[in-house]
Every structure is written in structure tokens, then in C-alpha cells.
Chains A and B, each alone.
Chain A
Amino acid sequence: MKEFVPAGADLELRGIRKEFPGFTAIENLDLHIPAGEFFALLGPSGCGKTTTLRIIAGLDQPTQGQVLIGGEDVTFTKPHERPVNTVFQSYALFPHMSILENVAFGLRRKQVADPLAKAAAALEMVELGHIGERRPQQLSGGQQQRVALARALVNRPSLLLLDEPLGALDLKLRRQMQIELKAIQMEVGLTFLHVTHDQEEAMDMADTVAVMNRGRIEQMGAPESLYERPKTAFVAKFLGQSNLFVAEVADSSADSLSIEVAGNRISVPKNRAEKQSGKIAIGVRPEKVEFHRSAPSASSGLNILGPGTIKDIRFTGVSNQYLIEIPNVGQITVFAQNIGISPVIELGEQVWISFKVEHAFGLQDLPVGDEE
């Protein structure tokens, strides 16, 4: 029988393609996850992320391409032959077994010595040592989730797959589980692949995030770089919020590009722009935008737009969210930190907005509706 793998293994997907009757779920996916990394696959429902996970687990067969775990081609092996365990979205705990037997299931199949003691230790790790004799139906959602995690982790798989396991939990428990999951991953050093549609969760927990859309990876990188430098309109809108301005390049200097939107000049540094000519989209994150009651004085390092009117104010606790309508430009979202000294602004008031050129980013494509 196979021994426990001491640490995680790396995962490689080569040219994975998956077709279902009538549509293509994944188009030509290449992915490499180094051993021991916490990797998040982020995307909206239907983007192919769960299909990718099922192909890695062996629950679905790719139409084309290869799956390698620790350098070994496992494309045509059955799920039970792969050193992979999954925490399912539905938890999929066996209702006819006790919690302890659920956790010991994988150990018993691999004929590992002393399965019950190891299962009990795994339950202790998720702080559920006292409920081993209960049935899954008697547990709360959060407890079931932790049991599912223990049931997968106890096998010390080379690769742990997490299929939106926190989806059914309430916000508080979700936060707590995110922290615990991250701590467990650091402790056991396994490779984690986390599939989620929650961008905050992905950015919070993962070392590397891949944003997936329509069966393809749009952009991949560390959470900070994805947030600061989104390269496509989809990533800019899906990962956090963005204000996007679309126009032909009007002016190009040695280190920056400019466009003209309704008489306002918007510049982006050349090294932060993916596309250098033609019609381009320039974006900025809402928290990088400031507003002013009078027109700020022009400066080369500042993009200024306005005047516009405040259409909506939302109080979210940490920050206030303002929606500002600028004629011929559109609606701009601005987040202002709620530190008690922000200007008292009321609905309908006239304001100008500004943001630093160095905070702008240029996209390689155009948002939906603005395509050429």
C-alpha cells in the first residue's frame, strides 16, 4: 500500500480541453501549481472552474490534454488511484456512518494502520474530537464542513482540492474557517487548490490566484498584483470594483499615454498599460479616487474629471461609497474611508474627482459593450 506523502506535490495541467454536448467548458488550459502552494481558481459560476477541479480529481475525463501530479501522468487513472482528496461543496459526508468512521474511510481503504486513532487525531485538529460518535445529520453546516476537511486531510494527500467549501457558511463562520484553513495549510505544507467565486476569499487565502472566465484563465498572479494591475476588463470588474474610461489614444509621451473623455484628459503610465494604441480602456480602483467641492488645480501627475453630481451614498461601515454621475463620462464609484474627517457631502452636490496617474491601469481589451 502507498505510504503517506510527506509533503505536497506539484500539479501540472497541459492543454486541458473539456467539451460537453453543446458547449466547451474548458478551452486549452495550461496551469502549473508548485508544491506546497495555496492556489485559488477564481471565477463566476459556469466559468469552468469546478470542471477543472473534477478533472484533476479524476471525476471527469478531459476531452484533450494531460494532468500531471508530482510529475506523474494521471490523466487516465481512476479517482481512487490518485493521491488527491477533495472537500466537496456539498461536503458529501456518508449519512450511514458516524463522524469518526467518515474520517477513517480513506485510511481504511488504503489499509493504513490504526485508522481510528488517526481519524480521532484529525478530528481533534479541527476541534471536533468530542463528536466522533454522532451522525453527519446531527451537525451544523460549519461542523460538517470541518469534518469534510478532516476527512480529506487525514489522508495526507499530495494535493487537496477545495470546491467552494465555505459557500454555505454564514459570514462570521466563513471568516473563522478561512483563517483556520490557511493555518492548516501552512502547518501541513500540502498543495491546496481552492475553487471559489468569492474574490475576497481567494485574495485573502491564496498565494496565487488565477481568474477564470469562459473556460480560460484570464490572468494569474499574486493577489496584490492582480488587484493593482488587472490586465483585462473582466478581471478589473470581477476582482474588486473598477472605474473604466474608454477612448482612442489622443496623446503619447515617453512614459505615459492619454485619452480624452468628454473634454477630460486621462493619463496612464506606459509601463502600466497593456495596449499602447487605438481605442483603449483605462481604469482606476474606487478607493484611489478622491473628490473635491471645487475644481482642483491641474497637475501633470493628476487625472481630473468633473464636475459631476452625487447620485448615491452608501454607508458600509468601514467606508462610504459614493456614486458620482459625470455628464458624457458616466457613473464613477468612489470609496472614502470613514475616518470622520471626510467632507460632508450630500446627495445632489456638485463635485470634481481626481486620481493619481500612477494609480491608473491600461487594459488589453475593452469592457463588454465597448468592443470595436
Chain B
Amino acid sequence: MALAGFSSAAPKPQAASTLKSGRIAWVLLLPGLLYLAMFFLIPLVSLLITSVMTPDPSGAYGIYNYGFDLSSYQHVIVDYLPQIGRSFLYAFAATVIALLISYPLAYFVGIRLRSRPLIQKLTLTLVIAPFFISFLLRTIAWKQLFADNAPTMTFVRHLFNLDSTFHFLGTPGAVVWGLVYNFIPFMTLPLYTSLERLDLRLLEAAGDLYATPASVFRRVTLPLTMPGVISGTLLTFIPITGDYVNASRDFLGASDTSMIGNMVQADYLQNSDYPAASALSAVLMAVILIIVGIYVKRTGTEDLL
């Protein structure tokens, strides 16, 4: 617009064509916008409306009326505080462990195997291979392996000289194990993408400028692969906080390991307490937004763009 003052008639046809291409862009965007409205915006509004509904005066089970009642929020925040805290604690632990496992793996595949493209692609396929089997089946398989009477546990008890009262299934350790196992590919793939694109000449230059291998990693490799670290941690942390499978009693958890997801499931499907389930979901969403916002700001991703 500012430039328009410098020119005479020439830019006019161009302006018209920009307008036209702008219209085409909107038409092309329309299906996506409709999809977002249908499956994101409307459900979100509906969720928020449900969370402030009031119980029916008749006291009938599972019947709620439209209104503005914030007591569900009070109820979930006070009564489910342990589950909320546990969710973020487990998610934090699982994300950190997944990062510690995935970074060396992605480094190996993305950098060390660059000279062997075939092995690189095969290894990458192995990383995503678990997805070919339903994660429910895989989690049940872990349940079998962790069962108190399973030969694997007998072996572990012998190996570490533990007495027969030791059990792993149903402990926070088993839940975090399952979370790490199920979400590791979501961490590895973004890390791999960053590391695979990393310009190795920069690492050579750092070594040439007297940086020790540890210093090269800290000053060059890690900062340049931060986009991968950030997307990987977000892709694992966010879904893990809402996970309701691993922590459930039917899989690797016990009643004292339940997370937000398990509470939402119980309130919605068993107790028919729709406002509480919705309020809990809204709280989860709000806390995630705050944490992610601080995280992205603190890690300074804008420098890398």
C-alpha cells in the first residue's frame, strides 16, 4: 500500500490479479475452514457450554439443563487435584525419558547412518514399525510381561535379588514405562528430521575452532536441532497428559495411578456427569496451553526460524 504512491497506472492490473488470487485462496481454504468449524470449533464451544450446565432440579441421574454453573470446575479442581498433578508429573517424566532415549537414537539414524541410506531407511521403518500393531494389544502385551506370575518378572526378581512381594504392574513405574514405550516414535521422528538436515560442515567448523566434542554438541548440534526437540516434546507431552489407556486399571495402572483421562472417562461413561467431564477437559486444555506457551517462549524457537 505504501508503495502505491510511487507508481502511476502500472500496478492496477496487478492489484486486480492479487485480489483475484486472494479470492481463489479463500475458495481453496473453505473446505479446511469448514472442517475446522465442524470438528473443532463447534465441539469446543459445546464442551464449554456443557461444563457450565446445572443438574436437573428433579435430581434425575444424568440429566442437565443449560445454565451458568461453575460448581463443576470447583468440584474437579478440588476433588481431582491428585489426578491432575499425577498426569503432569507422569507426562513430564515420560517426556524426559523419551527424549533421553530418542535423541541418541535419532542422532545415530540421522547422522551416523547418512552414508548408508538403505540401512538408514530400514532403521527408520523399525522406529515406526510398532504402529503396525494396535497399541492396545501392545500395552496388553506389556501387562502380561509385568504380571506378578510372569516368567519375565520371576527372572527380574532373581536378577535383582528381590523378594516375592515385589510387583511392578500397577505402579507408577509401569505406567510411565508404558507411556514412554507408546509415545517414543512421536519423539524420535521430529528429532530425526532435524538431525537428518543438520549441516555436518558446521560441526567440523566448530571442531576446527577448538570445540571439544562435548562442546560441539552443546554449542552447535543441540541449538540447531532445538526445533526437533521442541516439536518432539510437545508431540509426546500433550497427548500423554490426556492418555487414559496406560494408567487404567485394565492395563498397566491401578486405582492410585489414574490420570485426568481416566477421570474424564469415568465421569462421562460411567457416572454420566457430563459437566464434570467437560470441566476437567477444559482445565486440562488450559493448563497445557499455559505450560506450552511458557515452554515455547523460554526455549526461544523464534531464533531458529
Contact = CB atoms under 8 A, between A and B. Distances in A.
Interface in B193-227: 199, 201-202, 204-213, 215, 219-220, 223-224
A94 interface: yes
Nearest to A2: B210
Interface string A94-106: 1110000000011
Contacts of A88: 201, 204-205
B304 A105 contact: no
B208 A79 contact: yes
A78 B213 CA distance: 10
Contacts of A85: 208-209
B303 interface: yes
Contacts of B209: 80, 85, 105-106, 109, 151-152, 155
Contacts of B211: 80, 105, 109
A86 B209 CA distance: 8
A92 B201 contact: yes
Given A94-B220, A96-B224, A109-B215, A80 B205 contact: no
Nearest to A84: B208
Interface string A58-95: 11000000000000000000111000111010101111
Nearest to B224: A96
A96 B303 contact: yes
A371 B211 CA distance: 50
Interface in B100-147: none
Interface residues of A, number: 23
A59 B207 contact: yes
A80 B208 CA distance: 5
Nearest to B304: A96
A105 B206 contact: yes
A109 B304 contact: no
A266 interface: no
A199 to B, nearest CB: 26
Interface in B161-193: none
A211 interface: no
Contact of B210 (A80, A92, A95, A96): A80
A152 B206 CA distance: 11
A57 interface: yes
B103 to A, nearest CB: 18
Interface residues on B, range: 20 to 34
A106 B210 contact: yes
A80 B207 contact: yes
A96 B210 CA distance: 18
A86 B210 contact: no
Contacts of A58: 207-208
Given A94-B220, A96-B224, A96-B304, A80 B212 contact: yes
A110 interface: yes
A80 B209 CA distance: 6
A86 B208 contact: yes
Nearest to B200: A92
A86 B206 CA distance: 10
B205 A92 contact: yes
Given A90-B201, A94-B202, A96-B303, A79 B207 contact: yes
B224 to A, nearest CB: 6
A93 B201 CA distance: 9
A92 B202 CA distance: 5
Contact of A86 (B205, B219, B220, B223): B205
A59 B201 CA distance: 10
Contacts of B212: 80, 109
A88 B206 CA distance: 11
Contacts of B210: 80, 106, 109-110, 155
A94 B290 CA distance: 32
Nearest to A101: B219
Contact of A57 (B199, B208, B220): B208
Nearest to B303: A96
Given A88-B201, A109-B215, A95 B224 contact: yes
B207 to A, nearest CB: 4
A90 B203 CA distance: 13
B208 A59 contact: yes
B87 to A, nearest CB: 34
Nearest to B201: A92
Contacts of A96: 220, 223-224, 303-304
A59 B208 CA distance: 8
Interface in A130-174: 151-152, 155
Contacts of A155: 209-210
A329 to B, nearest CB: 49
A284 B125 CA distance: 62
17 contacts: A58-B208, A59-B204, A59-B207, A78-B207, A85-B209, A88-B204, A90-B201, A94-B205, A94-B206, A94-B220, A96-B224, A96-B304, A106-B210, A109-B211, A110-B210, A155-B209, A155-B210
* 10 closest cross-chain pairs (CB), A and B: A92-B205, A106-B209, A109-B210, A79-B207, A92-B201, A80-B210, A96-B223, A86-B208, A109-B211, A105-B209
Given A80-B207, A85-B209, A151-B209, 13 more contacts: A58-B207, A59-B204, A78-B213, A86-B205, A88-B201, A93-B205, A94-B205, A95-B202, A96-B220, A105-B209, A106-B210, A152-B209, A155-B210
